[in-house]
A and B are shown apart, each in its own frame.
Chain A
Amino acid sequence: MRTLTHAGGAGFKPALSWMAALIVLTMFLSACNRAQVFHREAYVFGTRVDVAVYGDEPERADVAMAAVLREFDRMHRAYHAWEPSELTALNAALAQGETLEVSAELAAMLRDAQQMAAQGDGLFDPALGAVIELWGFHTDTFEPKRPDAHQLAALIEQAPRISQLLIEGQRVSSTNPAVRLDLGGYAKGYALDRAANILRDQGIHHALINIGGNVLALGDKGGRPWRIGIQHPRQPVPLATMPLYDGEAIGTSGDYQRYFELDGVRYAHIIDPRSGEPAHGTQALTVLVTSRPRVGTLSDAASKPAYLAGEEWRDQTRHFAIDHALRVAGDGRVEVTRALRARLEFPQPVAFKVVD
Chain B
Amino acid sequence: MGAGWRELLRPGDWAVVALGAALCIYAGMGLWTAGAPDGVIVRAGGKVFAEADLAAARRIEVPGPLGLTLIEIEPGRARVASDPGPRQYCVRQGWLDRAGAVAICAPNEVSLVLTGRGNDYDSLGY
Contact = CB atoms under 8 A, between A and B. Distances in A.
A251 interface: yes
Interface residues of A, number: 48
A226 B123 contact: yes
B101 interface: yes
Given A4-B12, A7-B8, A140-B86, A229 B118 contact: no
A260 B106 contact: no
A228 B121 contact: yes
A229 B111 contact: no
B122 A252 contact: no
Interface of B: 5, 8-13, 34-35, 43, 45-47, 86-87, 89, 93-96, 98, 100-104, 106-107, 109, 111, 118, 120-126
Interface of A: 3-4, 7, 10-12, 14-15, 37, 40-43, 46-48, 50, 52, 140-142, 208, 210, 212-215, 221, 226-231, 236-238, 241, 250-252, 254, 256-258, 260, 286, 347
A347 B125 contact: no
B17 to A, nearest CB: 9
A286 B122 contact: no
A7 B5 contact: no
B101 A237 contact: yes
Contacts of A257: 89, 126
Interface of B is mostly: loop
Most chain-A Cβ atoms within 10 A of its Cβ — which of B13, B47, B126?
A: B126
Contact of B123 (A12, A52, A256): A52
26 contacts: A3-B10, A3-B13, A11-B10, A12-B13, A14-B5, A15-B13, A41-B46, A41-B111, A42-B45, A43-B106, A46-B107, A52-B122, A140-B107, A141-B86, A208-B123, A213-B126, A215-B123, A226-B123, A229-B124, A231-B124, A236-B94, A236-B98, A238-B101, A241-B120, A286-B125, A347-B35
Given A52-B123, A257-B126, A347-B118, 11 more contacts: A3-B12, A14-B5, A142-B87, A221-B122, A226-B122, A227-B121, A236-B95, A241-B121, A252-B125, A257-B89, A260-B87
